[in-house]
Protein backbone atom coordinates (compact mmCIF):
# COMPACT_ATOMS: atom_id res chain seq x y z
CA UNK A 1 0.00 0.00 0.00
CA UNK A 2 1.00 3.61 -0.40
CA UNK A 3 -0.07 6.61 1.58
CA UNK A 4 -0.96 8.61 -1.53
CA UNK A 5 -4.28 10.32 -0.75
CA UNK A 6 -7.34 10.03 -3.00
CA UNK A 7 -9.79 12.94 -3.06
CA UNK A 8 -13.23 12.06 -1.77
CA UNK A 9 -14.93 13.43 -4.89
CA UNK A 10 -12.68 11.23 -6.99
CA UNK A 11 -13.50 7.98 -5.22
CA UNK A 12 -16.63 7.51 -7.32
CA UNK A 13 -14.47 7.45 -10.46
CA UNK A 14 -12.31 4.58 -9.22
CA UNK A 15 -13.43 0.96 -9.06
CA UNK A 16 -11.64 -2.16 -7.89
CA UNK A 17 -13.12 -5.08 -9.75
CA UNK A 18 -14.65 -7.54 -7.34
CA UNK A 19 -15.26 -5.00 -4.61
CA UNK A 20 -18.78 -3.63 -4.05
CA UNK A 21 -21.38 -2.53 -6.58
CA UNK A 22 -20.12 -1.21 -9.92
CA UNK A 23 -21.39 2.31 -10.41
CA UNK A 24 -18.52 4.31 -11.85
CA UNK A 25 -19.11 8.02 -12.26
CA UNK A 26 -17.89 9.25 -15.64
CA UNK A 27 -18.65 11.71 -18.44
CA UNK A 28 -18.27 14.61 -16.03
CA UNK A 29 -16.08 17.69 -16.03
CA UNK A 30 -12.75 17.35 -14.26
CA UNK A 31 -12.44 18.28 -10.62
CA UNK A 32 -10.66 21.58 -9.93
CA UNK A 33 -7.26 21.01 -8.36
CA UNK A 34 -7.23 17.31 -9.17
CA UNK A 35 -4.51 17.60 -11.90
CA UNK A 36 -6.47 15.76 -14.55
CA UNK A 37 -4.53 14.20 -17.44
CA UNK A 38 -7.20 15.55 -19.81
CA UNK A 39 -6.81 18.61 -21.97
CA UNK A 40 -9.67 20.84 -23.14
CA UNK A 41 -12.32 21.33 -25.82
CA UNK A 42 -9.78 22.95 -28.15
CA UNK A 43 -7.51 19.92 -27.80
CA UNK A 44 -10.36 17.63 -28.82
CA UNK A 45 -11.00 19.61 -31.99
CA UNK A 46 -7.35 20.08 -32.77
CA UNK A 47 -6.47 16.38 -32.62
CA UNK A 48 -9.36 15.38 -34.88
CA UNK A 49 -8.73 17.96 -37.61
CA UNK A 50 -4.95 18.15 -37.30
CA UNK A 51 -4.00 15.48 -39.91
CA UNK A 52 -5.86 17.19 -42.77
CA UNK A 53 -2.68 18.06 -44.60
CA UNK A 54 -3.84 20.45 -47.30
CA UNK A 55 -5.92 22.64 -45.03
CA UNK A 56 -4.86 25.75 -43.18
CA UNK A 57 -5.29 25.40 -39.43
CA UNK A 58 -5.49 28.85 -37.88
CA UNK A 59 -5.78 29.12 -34.14
CA UNK A 60 -7.61 32.25 -33.13
CA UNK A 61 -6.47 33.49 -29.75
CA UNK A 62 -3.34 34.36 -27.78
CA UNK A 63 -0.19 32.42 -28.68
CA UNK A 64 -0.11 29.52 -26.20
CA UNK A 65 -2.64 27.19 -27.83
CA UNK A 66 -0.80 27.39 -31.17
CA UNK A 67 2.68 27.00 -29.67
CA UNK A 68 1.76 23.91 -27.68
CA UNK A 69 0.15 22.15 -30.66
CA UNK A 70 2.81 22.87 -33.28
CA UNK A 71 3.75 19.58 -35.00
CA UNK A 72 2.37 17.75 -31.98
CA UNK A 73 0.97 14.64 -33.68
CA UNK A 74 2.86 12.01 -35.60
CA UNK A 75 0.17 12.16 -38.31
CA UNK A 76 1.93 11.58 -41.62
CA UNK A 77 1.04 12.94 -45.03
CA UNK A 78 1.87 11.47 -48.44
CA UNK A 79 1.87 14.95 -49.97
CA UNK A 80 1.39 18.44 -48.56
CA UNK A 81 2.45 19.10 -44.98
CA UNK A 82 0.65 22.32 -44.18
CA UNK A 83 -0.76 20.65 -41.07
CA UNK A 84 2.71 20.57 -39.55
CA UNK A 85 2.81 24.36 -39.39
CA UNK A 86 1.42 26.35 -36.48
CA UNK A 87 -0.61 29.45 -37.28
CA UNK A 88 -2.02 31.83 -34.71
CA UNK A 89 -3.72 35.19 -34.76
CA UNK A 90 -1.55 35.80 -31.68
CA UNK A 91 -4.05 38.15 -30.03
CA UNK A 92 -2.63 40.90 -27.82
CA UNK A 93 -4.07 43.18 -25.23
CA UNK A 94 -5.32 45.70 -27.78
CA UNK A 95 -7.18 42.92 -29.61
CA UNK A 96 -8.81 41.85 -26.38
CA UNK A 97 -10.07 45.39 -25.97
CA UNK A 98 -11.01 46.18 -29.57
CA UNK A 99 -11.88 42.65 -30.70
CA UNK A 100 -9.95 40.22 -32.87
CA UNK A 101 -12.08 40.10 -36.01
CA UNK A 102 -9.92 42.39 -38.13
CA UNK A 103 -6.81 40.51 -37.17
CA UNK A 104 -8.53 37.22 -37.95
CA UNK A 105 -9.62 38.48 -41.34
CA UNK A 106 -6.19 39.85 -42.21
CA UNK A 107 -4.45 36.68 -41.01
CA UNK A 108 -6.72 34.44 -43.06
CA UNK A 109 -6.24 36.47 -46.21
CA UNK A 110 -2.48 36.63 -45.76
CA UNK A 111 -2.11 32.92 -44.99
CA UNK A 112 -4.46 31.74 -47.74
CA UNK A 113 -2.59 33.88 -50.28
CA UNK A 114 0.74 32.52 -49.08
CA UNK A 115 -0.02 28.83 -48.67
CA UNK A 116 -2.93 28.26 -51.07
CA UNK A 117 -4.75 25.70 -48.90
CA UNK A 118 -7.83 23.83 -50.09
CA UNK A 119 -9.78 24.78 -46.97
CA UNK A 120 -9.19 26.60 -43.72
CA UNK A 121 -10.23 25.76 -40.18
CA UNK A 122 -10.45 28.56 -37.65
CA UNK A 123 -10.21 27.27 -34.08
CA UNK A 124 -11.83 29.47 -31.47
CA UNK A 125 -9.88 29.42 -28.20
CA UNK A 126 -11.20 30.32 -24.75
CA UNK A 127 -11.55 34.05 -25.01
CA UNK A 128 -13.05 34.38 -28.49
CA UNK A 129 -16.68 34.20 -27.40
CA UNK A 130 -15.95 36.40 -24.41
CA UNK A 131 -14.48 39.24 -26.45
CA UNK A 132 -17.46 38.89 -28.78
CA UNK A 133 -15.76 38.04 -32.08
CA UNK A 134 -18.20 36.94 -34.76
CA UNK A 135 -15.96 34.25 -36.21
CA UNK A 136 -18.73 32.74 -38.33
CA UNK A 137 -19.22 35.91 -40.34
CA UNK A 138 -15.48 36.46 -40.84
CA UNK A 139 -15.22 32.88 -42.13
CA UNK A 140 -18.19 33.45 -44.41
CA UNK A 141 -16.65 36.59 -45.83
CA UNK A 142 -13.29 34.96 -46.51
CA UNK A 143 -15.01 31.91 -48.04
CA UNK A 144 -16.70 34.21 -50.54
CA UNK A 145 -13.61 36.25 -51.26
CA UNK A 146 -11.11 33.41 -51.55
CA UNK A 147 -13.29 30.67 -52.99
CA UNK A 148 -12.27 27.98 -50.51
CA UNK A 149 -14.27 26.71 -47.55
CA UNK A 150 -13.28 28.58 -44.40
CA UNK A 151 -14.82 26.77 -41.47
CA UNK A 152 -15.17 27.93 -37.89
CA UNK A 153 -14.47 25.38 -35.17
CA UNK A 154 -16.22 26.31 -31.95
CA UNK A 155 -13.65 24.88 -29.62
CA UNK A 156 -13.46 27.36 -26.73
CA UNK A 157 -11.43 25.44 -24.17
CA UNK A 158 -13.69 25.79 -21.17
CA UNK A 159 -16.99 24.97 -22.90
CA UNK A 160 -17.06 21.33 -21.86
CA UNK A 161 -14.52 18.52 -22.10
CA UNK A 162 -12.28 17.14 -24.82
CA UNK A 163 -15.33 15.19 -26.07
CA UNK A 164 -17.15 18.43 -26.85
CA UNK A 165 -14.13 19.38 -28.92
CA UNK A 166 -14.52 16.17 -30.91
CA UNK A 167 -18.13 17.14 -31.59
CA UNK A 168 -17.19 20.67 -32.66
CA UNK A 169 -14.62 19.23 -35.09
CA UNK A 170 -17.17 16.77 -36.47
CA UNK A 171 -19.64 19.56 -37.01
CA UNK A 172 -17.05 21.55 -38.95
CA UNK A 173 -16.19 18.49 -41.03
CA UNK A 174 -19.87 17.87 -41.73
CA UNK A 175 -19.96 21.23 -43.50
CA UNK A 176 -17.40 19.92 -45.99
CA UNK A 177 -18.92 16.49 -46.47
CA UNK A 178 -21.40 16.42 -49.33
CA UNK A 179 -19.91 19.33 -51.25
CA UNK A 180 -17.88 17.25 -53.72
CA UNK A 181 -18.72 15.05 -56.66
CA UNK A 182 -19.39 11.36 -55.99
CA UNK A 183 -19.00 10.27 -59.55
CA UNK A 184 -16.84 7.20 -60.15
CA UNK A 185 -17.22 5.91 -56.61
CA UNK A 186 -17.95 2.20 -56.73
CA UNK A 187 -20.39 0.07 -54.82
CA UNK A 188 -17.88 -1.35 -52.35
CA UNK A 189 -16.58 1.88 -50.94
CA UNK A 190 -15.94 2.92 -47.36
CA UNK A 191 -14.61 5.79 -45.31
CA UNK A 192 -11.98 4.97 -42.69
CA UNK A 193 -12.92 7.10 -39.71
CA UNK A 194 -11.04 7.84 -36.51
CA UNK A 195 -7.71 6.77 -37.98
CA UNK A 196 -5.13 9.53 -37.90
CA UNK A 197 -2.23 7.98 -39.78
CA UNK A 198 0.09 8.16 -36.81
CA UNK A 199 3.38 6.66 -38.03
CA UNK A 200 1.62 5.72 -41.27
CA UNK A 201 -1.02 3.48 -39.65
CA UNK A 202 -3.78 4.60 -42.01
CA UNK A 203 -1.68 3.50 -44.97
CA UNK A 204 -1.36 0.01 -43.50
CA UNK A 205 -5.11 -0.23 -42.88
CA UNK A 206 -6.01 1.21 -46.27
CA UNK A 207 -3.84 -1.38 -47.95
CA UNK A 208 -5.69 -4.20 -46.18
CA UNK A 209 -9.03 -2.85 -47.39
CA UNK A 210 -7.81 -2.29 -50.92
CA UNK A 211 -6.43 -5.81 -51.06
CA UNK A 212 -9.86 -7.02 -49.98
CA UNK A 213 -11.32 -5.31 -53.05
CA UNK A 214 -12.75 -2.35 -51.17
CA UNK A 215 -12.35 1.25 -52.23
CA UNK A 216 -11.46 3.85 -49.60
CA UNK A 217 -13.06 7.20 -50.38
CA UNK A 218 -11.72 9.23 -47.49
CA UNK A 219 -9.75 8.69 -44.32
CA UNK A 220 -10.93 10.82 -41.42
CA UNK A 221 -8.59 12.35 -40.93
CA UNK A 222 -5.21 10.63 -41.38
CA UNK A 223 -3.30 11.78 -44.47
CA UNK A 224 -6.51 13.76 -45.01
CA UNK A 225 -7.35 15.81 -48.08
CA UNK A 226 -10.16 18.30 -48.40
CA UNK A 227 -11.24 16.90 -51.75
CA UNK A 228 -11.71 13.39 -50.36
CA UNK A 229 -13.69 14.67 -47.41
CA UNK A 230 -16.00 16.59 -49.73
CA UNK A 231 -16.91 13.42 -51.63
CA UNK A 232 -16.95 11.06 -48.66
CA UNK A 233 -20.76 10.88 -48.73
CA UNK A 234 -20.30 8.65 -51.78
CA UNK A 235 -19.14 5.77 -49.57
CA UNK A 236 -21.59 3.08 -48.59
CA UNK A 237 -20.15 2.32 -45.16
CA UNK A 238 -18.38 4.31 -42.47
CA UNK A 239 -15.88 2.26 -40.51
CA UNK A 240 -15.30 4.06 -37.24
CA UNK A 241 -12.29 3.59 -34.99
CA UNK A 242 -11.45 5.62 -31.88
CA UNK A 243 -14.94 5.61 -30.44
CA UNK A 244 -15.20 9.15 -29.16
CA UNK A 245 -13.44 11.31 -31.63
CA UNK A 246 -15.36 10.95 -34.85
CA UNK A 247 -18.55 9.10 -33.94
CA UNK A 248 -20.57 12.30 -34.14
CA UNK A 249 -19.65 12.72 -37.81
CA UNK A 250 -20.65 9.11 -38.54
CA UNK A 251 -23.99 9.81 -36.90
CA UNK A 252 -24.50 13.00 -38.90
CA UNK A 253 -23.64 11.15 -42.12
CA UNK A 254 -26.08 8.39 -41.24
CA UNK A 255 -28.88 10.90 -40.65
CA UNK A 256 -28.10 13.00 -43.67
CA UNK A 257 -26.96 10.48 -46.27
CA UNK A 258 -28.18 7.19 -44.85
CA UNK A 259 -24.65 5.79 -44.61
CA UNK A 260 -24.50 3.12 -41.89
CA UNK A 261 -21.48 2.84 -39.64
CA UNK A 262 -19.74 0.09 -37.74
CA UNK A 263 -17.22 0.46 -34.92
CA UNK A 264 -13.86 -1.23 -35.11
CA UNK A 265 -10.37 -1.18 -33.71
CA UNK A 266 -7.10 -1.90 -35.50
CA UNK A 267 -5.00 -2.69 -32.47
CA UNK A 268 -4.09 -6.27 -31.69
CA UNK A 269 -4.59 -9.36 -33.84
CA UNK A 270 -8.05 -10.10 -32.51
CA UNK A 271 -9.60 -6.68 -33.09
CA UNK A 272 -7.74 -6.09 -36.32
CA UNK A 273 -9.08 -9.33 -37.78
CA UNK A 274 -12.58 -8.63 -36.50
CA UNK A 275 -12.52 -5.20 -38.19
CA UNK A 276 -11.68 -6.71 -41.57
CA UNK A 277 -14.23 -9.50 -41.19
CA UNK A 278 -16.97 -7.09 -40.09
CA UNK A 279 -16.39 -4.88 -43.11
CA UNK A 280 -16.33 -7.91 -45.40
CA UNK A 281 -19.56 -9.15 -43.83
CA UNK A 282 -21.19 -5.84 -44.60
CA UNK A 283 -20.61 -6.41 -48.29
CA UNK A 284 -22.06 -9.91 -48.18
CA UNK A 285 -23.36 -9.72 -51.74
CA UNK A 286 -19.75 -9.97 -52.88
CA UNK A 287 -18.41 -13.27 -51.60
CA UNK A 288 -15.06 -12.51 -53.18
CA UNK A 289 -14.41 -9.89 -50.53
CA UNK A 290 -14.83 -12.32 -47.66
CA UNK A 291 -12.67 -14.87 -49.41
CA UNK A 292 -9.86 -12.38 -49.87
CA UNK A 293 -10.25 -11.16 -46.31
CA UNK A 294 -9.72 -14.67 -44.96
CA UNK A 295 -6.59 -15.03 -47.05
CA UNK A 296 -5.23 -11.69 -45.89
CA UNK A 297 -5.87 -12.43 -42.23
CA UNK A 298 -4.29 -15.86 -42.50
CA UNK A 299 -1.22 -14.63 -44.34
CA UNK A 300 -0.68 -11.69 -42.02
CA UNK A 301 -1.01 -13.79 -38.88
CA UNK A 302 1.23 -16.51 -40.26
CA UNK A 303 3.85 -13.87 -40.99
CA UNK A 304 4.03 -12.50 -37.47
CA UNK A 305 3.19 -15.57 -35.42
CA UNK A 306 6.72 -16.95 -34.86
CA UNK A 307 7.98 -13.57 -33.60
CA UNK A 308 4.93 -13.14 -31.44
CA UNK A 309 5.51 -16.49 -29.74
CA UNK A 310 9.07 -15.47 -28.96
CA UNK A 311 7.99 -12.18 -27.39
CA UNK A 312 5.21 -13.86 -25.47
CA UNK A 313 7.64 -16.26 -23.92
CA UNK A 314 9.76 -13.37 -22.69
CA UNK A 315 6.86 -11.27 -21.44
CA UNK A 316 4.56 -13.86 -19.87
CA UNK A 317 3.40 -13.01 -16.38
CA UNK A 318 4.27 -9.30 -16.56
CA UNK A 319 1.69 -6.82 -15.33
CA UNK A 320 0.49 -3.74 -17.17
CA UNK A 321 -1.29 -0.49 -16.42
CA UNK A 322 -3.22 1.12 -19.27
CA UNK A 323 -4.34 4.72 -19.24
CA UNK A 324 -5.43 6.13 -22.57
CA UNK A 325 -7.67 8.84 -24.02
CA UNK A 326 -10.55 6.76 -25.37
CA UNK A 327 -11.88 3.61 -23.73
CA UNK A 328 -12.07 1.74 -27.04
CA UNK A 329 -8.32 1.72 -27.22
CA UNK A 330 -8.16 0.29 -23.72
CA UNK A 331 -10.33 -2.67 -24.80
CA UNK A 332 -7.98 -3.44 -27.68
CA UNK A 333 -4.92 -3.01 -25.52
CA UNK A 334 -6.16 -5.46 -22.92
CA UNK A 335 -6.65 -8.08 -25.62
CA UNK A 336 -3.37 -7.28 -27.35
CA UNK A 337 -1.38 -7.43 -24.11
CA UNK A 338 -3.07 -10.68 -23.12
CA UNK A 339 -1.95 -12.16 -26.41
CA UNK A 340 1.57 -11.35 -25.21
CA UNK A 341 0.94 -13.06 -21.89
CA UNK A 342 0.67 -9.78 -19.99
CA UNK A 343 -2.03 -9.25 -17.35
CA UNK A 344 -3.69 -5.87 -17.03
CA UNK A 345 -3.89 -4.62 -13.44
CA UNK A 346 -5.02 -1.05 -14.08
CA UNK A 347 -7.21 0.21 -16.92
CA UNK A 348 -8.57 3.68 -17.37
CA UNK A 349 -9.44 6.40 -19.82
CA UNK A 350 -9.89 10.14 -20.01
CA UNK A 351 -13.20 10.10 -21.82
CA UNK A 352 -14.98 6.74 -21.38
CA UNK A 353 -18.74 6.61 -20.85
CA UNK A 354 -20.98 4.29 -18.82
CA UNK A 355 -21.25 1.68 -21.55
CA UNK A 356 -17.51 1.73 -22.14
CA UNK A 357 -16.75 1.10 -18.49
CA UNK A 358 -19.28 -1.71 -18.35
CA UNK A 359 -17.41 -3.40 -21.20
CA UNK A 360 -14.11 -2.69 -19.52
CA UNK A 361 -15.29 -4.20 -16.23
CA UNK A 362 -16.44 -7.36 -17.97
CA UNK A 363 -13.10 -7.70 -19.74
CA UNK A 364 -10.89 -7.15 -16.71
CA UNK A 365 -9.68 -9.72 -14.21
CA UNK A 366 -10.67 -9.59 -10.56
CA UNK A 367 -8.70 -7.01 -8.65
CA UNK A 368 -8.08 -4.75 -11.64
CA UNK A 369 -8.40 -1.05 -10.86
CA UNK A 370 -10.65 0.86 -13.28
CA UNK A 371 -10.21 4.63 -13.39
CA UNK A 372 -12.01 7.47 -15.12
CA UNK A 373 -10.28 10.85 -15.64
CA UNK A 374 -7.41 9.90 -13.34
CA UNK A 375 -4.57 12.09 -12.13
CA UNK A 376 -0.83 11.42 -11.65
CA UNK A 377 -1.19 10.59 -7.96
CA UNK A 378 -3.88 7.98 -8.56
CA UNK A 379 -2.00 6.43 -11.46
CA UNK A 380 1.16 6.22 -9.38
CA UNK A 381 -0.63 4.85 -6.33
CA UNK A 382 -2.18 1.95 -8.21
CA UNK A 383 0.90 1.24 -10.30
CA UNK A 384 2.81 0.81 -7.06
CA UNK A 385 0.09 -1.14 -5.27
CA UNK A 386 -0.48 -3.47 -8.19
CA UNK A 387 3.25 -3.84 -8.94
CA UNK A 388 2.90 -2.93 -12.61
CA UNK A 389 5.87 -3.72 -14.86
CA UNK A 390 4.58 -1.72 -17.81
CA UNK A 391 2.61 1.45 -18.38
CA UNK A 392 0.79 2.03 -21.65
CA UNK A 393 -0.14 5.67 -22.08
CA UNK A 394 0.95 9.01 -23.51
CA UNK A 395 3.81 11.44 -22.95
CA UNK A 396 2.31 12.79 -19.72
CA UNK A 397 2.32 9.32 -18.18
CA UNK A 398 5.82 8.38 -19.35
CA UNK A 399 7.83 10.09 -16.59
CA UNK A 400 5.50 8.68 -13.93
CA UNK A 401 6.35 5.19 -15.11
CA UNK A 402 10.08 5.84 -15.37
CA UNK A 403 10.36 7.49 -11.96
CA UNK A 404 8.84 4.38 -10.46
CA UNK A 405 11.17 2.13 -12.44
CA UNK A 406 8.39 0.81 -14.69
CA UNK A 407 8.61 0.17 -18.44
CA UNK A 408 6.57 2.34 -20.78
CA UNK A 409 4.93 2.08 -24.18
CA UNK A 410 3.72 5.25 -25.90
CA UNK A 411 0.32 4.59 -27.40
CA UNK A 412 -0.68 8.20 -27.87
CA UNK A 413 -0.69 10.46 -30.89
CA UNK A 414 2.97 11.41 -30.59
CA UNK A 415 4.24 7.90 -31.16
CA UNK A 416 6.62 7.40 -34.04
CA UNK A 417 6.10 3.66 -34.37
CA UNK A 418 3.06 2.17 -36.05
CA UNK A 419 1.10 0.02 -33.62
CA UNK A 420 -1.94 -0.70 -35.79
CA UNK A 421 -2.54 -3.72 -37.96
CA UNK A 422 -0.61 -6.97 -37.88
CA UNK A 423 2.78 -5.36 -38.38
CA UNK A 424 1.79 -2.95 -35.59
CA UNK A 425 1.21 -5.89 -33.25
CA UNK A 426 4.80 -6.97 -33.68
CA UNK A 427 5.96 -3.39 -33.19
CA UNK A 428 3.92 -3.24 -29.99
CA UNK A 429 5.52 -6.46 -28.77
CA UNK A 430 8.97 -5.06 -29.58
CA UNK A 431 8.21 -1.77 -27.85
CA UNK A 432 6.97 -3.49 -24.72
CA UNK A 433 9.82 -5.96 -24.70
CA UNK A 434 12.50 -3.30 -25.16
CA UNK A 435 11.22 -1.33 -22.20
CA UNK A 436 10.05 -3.97 -19.72
CA UNK A 437 13.07 -6.21 -20.08
CA UNK A 438 15.70 -3.50 -20.31
CA UNK A 439 18.62 -4.15 -17.95
CA UNK A 440 18.57 -0.52 -16.75
CA UNK A 441 15.78 -1.28 -14.29
CA UNK A 442 18.23 -3.32 -12.21
CA UNK A 443 19.39 0.06 -10.91
CA UNK A 444 15.92 1.39 -10.11
CA UNK A 445 15.19 1.62 -6.41
CA UNK A 446 11.86 -0.08 -6.80
CA UNK A 447 10.38 0.12 -3.39
CA UNK A 448 7.38 -2.05 -4.09
CA UNK A 449 9.58 -4.88 -5.29
CA UNK A 450 11.72 -4.64 -2.20
CA UNK A 451 8.65 -4.74 0.00
CA UNK A 452 7.20 -7.71 -1.80
CA UNK A 453 10.34 -9.69 -1.17
CA UNK A 454 10.06 -9.23 2.58
Partner 1 sequence: MKTQEKIKYKATSNACKLCSPLGASFVFRGIERSIPLLHGSQGCSTYIRRYLISHFNEPVDIACSNFTEETAVFGGGANLKLAVENIIKQYNPELIGIATTCLSETIGEDVPMILREYNKEKFGENFPEIVSVSTPSFSGTHIDGFHGAVRAVVDSIAVKKKISTKQINIFPGMLSPADLRHLKEIVSDFSTDYVILPDYSETFDGPLWTEYQEIPEGGTKIEKIASMGDAVASIEFGKILAGEESAGKMLESQFNVPCHSLGIPIGINETDAFLKALETITGKPVPEKYIQERGRLIDAYADGHKYVFDARAVVYGEEDLVTGLASFLSEVGIIPIICASGGESGLLRQKILDIIPDAENIGIRIIEGADFVEIGEEAKKINPDFFIGNSKGYRIAREMKKPLIRVGFPIHDRLGGARIIHVGYRGAQQLFDIISNTIITTRQDTSPVGYTYM
Scanning residues 361 to 400, which ones bind partner 1 (CB under 8 A)? 375-377, 380-381, 384, 395-396, 398-400
Q: Which is nearer to partner 1, 96 or 303 (CB)?
A: 96
Q: What is the CA radius of gyration of the chain?
A: 23
- Cα 212-428-357 angle, rounded to 5 deg: 85
d(CA 54, CA 331): 33
Looking only at residues 396 through 435 of this chain, which bind partner 1 when binding is defined by CB under 8 A? 396, 398-400, 402-405
Looking only at residues 214 through 273 of this chain, which bind partner 1 when binding is defined by CB under 8 A? none
Q: Which is nearer to partner 1, 44 or 51 (CB)?
A: 44
d(CA 178, CA 118): 15
HEC-encoded secondary structure of 153-195 = ECCCCCCCCHHHHHHHHHHHHHHHCCCCCCCCCCCCEEEEEEE
d(CA 281, CA 293): 10
What is the pattern of x (binds partner 1, CB under 8 A) and - over residues 42-81?
xx--------------x--xxxxxxxxxxx----------
Does 160 participate in binding partner 1 (rule CB under 8 A)?
Answer: yes
Which one of residues 16, 25, 90, 359 is an interface residue with partner 1 (CB under 8 A)?
A: 90
Q: Which is nearer to partner 1, 105 or 257 (CB)?
A: 105
Q: How many residues bind partner 1 (CB under 8 A)?
A: 81
Which one of residues 13, 24, 26, 37 is an interface residue with partner 1 (CB under 8 A)?
A: 37
Does 95 participate in binding partner 1 (rule CB under 8 A)?
Answer: yes
Which H or E element spans position 48? helix 41-49
Helix 41-49 vs helix 162-176: angle between axes, to the nearest 10 degrees? 40
Looking only at residues 99 through 138 of this chain, which bind partner 1 when binding is defined by CB under 8 A? 102-103, 106-107, 110-111, 125-127, 130-131
Residue 441 CA neighbour count, 13 Å, CB half: 19
Does 277 participate in binding partner 1 (rule CB under 8 A)?
Answer: no
Does 287 participate in binding partner 1 (rule CB under 8 A)?
Answer: no
Which one of residues 47, 52, 91, 327 is an interface residue with partner 1 (CB under 8 A)?
A: 91
d(CA 204, CA 219): 12
Looking only at residues 306 through 335 of this chain, which bind partner 1 when binding is defined by CB under 8 A? none
Question: Coil, strand or helix: which one is 230?
Answer: helix
HEC-encoded secondary structure of 109-152 = HHHHHHHCCCEEEEEECCHHHHCCCCHHHHHHHHHHHHCCCEEE
Q: Which is nearer to partner 1, 39 or 436 (CB)?
A: 39
If one counts every other C-beta atom within 10 angstroms of the C-beta of residue 113, the result is 9
Q: Which is nearer to partner 1, 88 or 418 (CB)?
A: 88
User: Is 277 exposed, middle or buried (CB count within 10 Å of its CB: 0-12, 13-18, 19+)?
Assistant: middle
Which one of residues 11, 12, 35, 365 is an interface residue with partner 1 (CB under 8 A)?
A: 35
Least gap, CB of 45 to partner 1 (angstroms)? 11
**Cα→Cα distances 430→85, 309, 409, Å:** 32, 12, 10
Least gap, CB of 113 to partner 1 (angstroms)? 11
Question: Coil, strand or helix: which one is 404?
Answer: coil
Q: Which is nearer to partner 1, 341 or 405 (CB)?
A: 405
Least gap, CB of 116 to partner 1 (angstroms)? 15
Least gap, CB of 64 to partner 1 (angstroms)? 3
Q: Which is nearer to partner 1, 6 or 363 (CB)?
A: 6
- Cα 444-447-453 angle, rounded to 5 deg: 110
d(CA 43, CA 424): 26
By the 8 A CB rule, do 324 and 411 touch? yes
DSSP code of residue 31 = P
Which one of residues 11, 12, 18, 92 is an interface residue with partner 1 (CB under 8 A)?
A: 92
Stretch that binds partner 1, among 26-34, 144-152, 294-302, 426-434 (CB under 8 A): 26-34
Does 12 participate in binding partner 1 (rule CB under 8 A)?
Answer: no
Amino acid sequence: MTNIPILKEREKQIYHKGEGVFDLTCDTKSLAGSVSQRACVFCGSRVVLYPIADALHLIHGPIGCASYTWDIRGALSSGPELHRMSFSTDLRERDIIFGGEKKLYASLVQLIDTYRPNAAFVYCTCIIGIIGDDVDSVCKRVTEEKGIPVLPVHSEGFKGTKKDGYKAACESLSMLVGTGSIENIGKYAINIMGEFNIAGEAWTIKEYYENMGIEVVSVFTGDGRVENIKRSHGASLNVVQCSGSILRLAQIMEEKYGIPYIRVSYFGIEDMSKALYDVAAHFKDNIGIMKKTKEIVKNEIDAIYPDLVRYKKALSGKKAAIYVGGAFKAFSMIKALRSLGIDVVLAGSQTGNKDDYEVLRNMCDEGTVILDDANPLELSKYCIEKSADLFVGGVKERPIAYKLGIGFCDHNHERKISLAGYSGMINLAKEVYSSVLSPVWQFAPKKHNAEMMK
